[in-house]
Amino acid sequence: MTKWINGEGPLDDIVISSRIRLARNLEEYPFPIALTNEKSKEVIKKISDAIINGNTALKDDFSLIEIDKISDNEKQVLIEKHLISPNLVETPQKSAVLINKDESVSIMINEEDHLRIQCLFPGFQLDETWDLADKIDDILEENIQYAFDEKIGYLTSCPTNVGTGIRASVMIHLPALTITGYMDRILQAANQIGLTVRGLYGEGTESEGNIYQISNQVTLGRAEEEIIDTLKEVTKQIMGKEHDARATLLANNRIKLEDKICRSFGILTNARIIGSKEALRLISDVRLGIDLGIIQNVDVKTINNLMIEIQAGVLQKIYGKSLSANERDIKRAKLIRKKLNLNKE
């Protein structure tokens, strides 16, 4: 079970998930870009031993996945569930990931850095997510010597991660701000205060389904708590503006908004062929409709699961076979009809 998808969290009508990621490197090894295959295996063993074979409370909760030992579709599934980054699979012979049972924690090994500790919770839970990430970091540091400088902080491959090595982020659904044309202002304001806004799958991706990831840009010279507090305050302000935009749409264009949402719902419950981008756009409308009480016979958890299940890798895993693009579009439409419980097929 993937906790951030299936669980419930505070303010999850807008904030889908909260994530903390810590970048760390081992003192005695070159950064991953300079690692030989042999040395990369040593790093994987050292880190996995610290978790799985170490005397920790976590050892029975984690499984090690070596990237070169899984299929391309299994790699894609891990990316689509936000458990690993696309960068991790670029050098499969060197990389691995440790994932716990409820998939709230993944520890990427030999991505851009030796270690990327990621904790992912449902809803708006940055403090709780940080607390877990910090505890896992402490456990690892008991068994591993990190590359650390007393003046600078943790040393990382990319200068933007030097210092605390922390990236705090929220995945947030902002359909009303997008509809009313205010997202450009939000993007500009976030940039000016040291935050970055990206699409559904992070850097270089589009904000499909009106879903955005907002995170800190700078880690050097700022304490972890300060970084998290800044993101929390900005997220609250954006949530307030999204609520205001929703109220404005309801007050001034209720029939038009209801028509948009109900048309999207109608397409999803009747379409026989549908692509992933169109599906995400329509699912976004339906999620807004649920939050506003316009659609009452579908819950948000079903919609959150659909956002992941309609992706190419997960879809093929569900059906247990490789599918062509056209077959995926057909199976995607069938899955959506089934999940929305309005089709007797």
If one counts every other C-beta atom within 10 angstroms of the C-beta of residue 148, the result is 14
Would you place residue 338 in the very low, low, confident or very high pLDDT band (cuts 50, 70, 90)? very high
Give the Cα separation of 264 and 257 in Å (integer): 11
Would you place residue 344 in the very low, low, confident or very high pLDDT band (cuts 50, 70, 90)? very low
Q: What angle do CA 29, 164, 238 make, to 5 degrees?
A: 135
Cβ atoms of 291 and 311 closer than 8 Å: no
Q: Are residues 137 and 251 in the same domain?
A: no
Q: Classify residue 228: in a domain, yes or no.
A: no
SS3 182: coil
Q: Are residues 129 and 268 in the same domain?
A: no
**Contacts of the segment 153-159: beta carbons below 8 A, 24+ positions apart:** 153/219, 153/220, 154/23, 154/24, 154/25, 155/25, 156/23, 156/24, 156/25, 156/112, 156/113, 157/23, 157/25, 157/31, 157/32, 157/33, 157/112, 157/113, 158/23, 158/112, 159/220
Cβ atoms of 143 and 135 closer than 8 Å: no
Q: Are residues 155 and 304 in the same domain?
A: no
State which of 163, 196, 213 marks the end of a domain: 163
pLDDT, average across residues 63-74: 96
The alpha carbon of residue 96 and the mean position of all alpha carbons in its chain are separated, in whole angstroms, by 18
Q: Classify residue 179: in a domain, yes or no.
A: no
Would you place residue 169 in the very low, low, confident or very high pLDDT band (cuts 50, 70, 90)? very high
Domain, as residue range, for 105: 3-163
The alpha carbon of residue 98 and the mean position of all alpha carbons in its chain are separated, in whole angstroms, by 16
Q: Are residues 156 and 53 in the same domain?
A: yes
Q: Classify residue 172: in a domain, yes or no.
A: no
Q: Are residues 146 and 8 in the same domain?
A: yes
Q: Is the pTM of this model over 0.75?
A: yes
Could you give the number of structural domains in the chain? 2
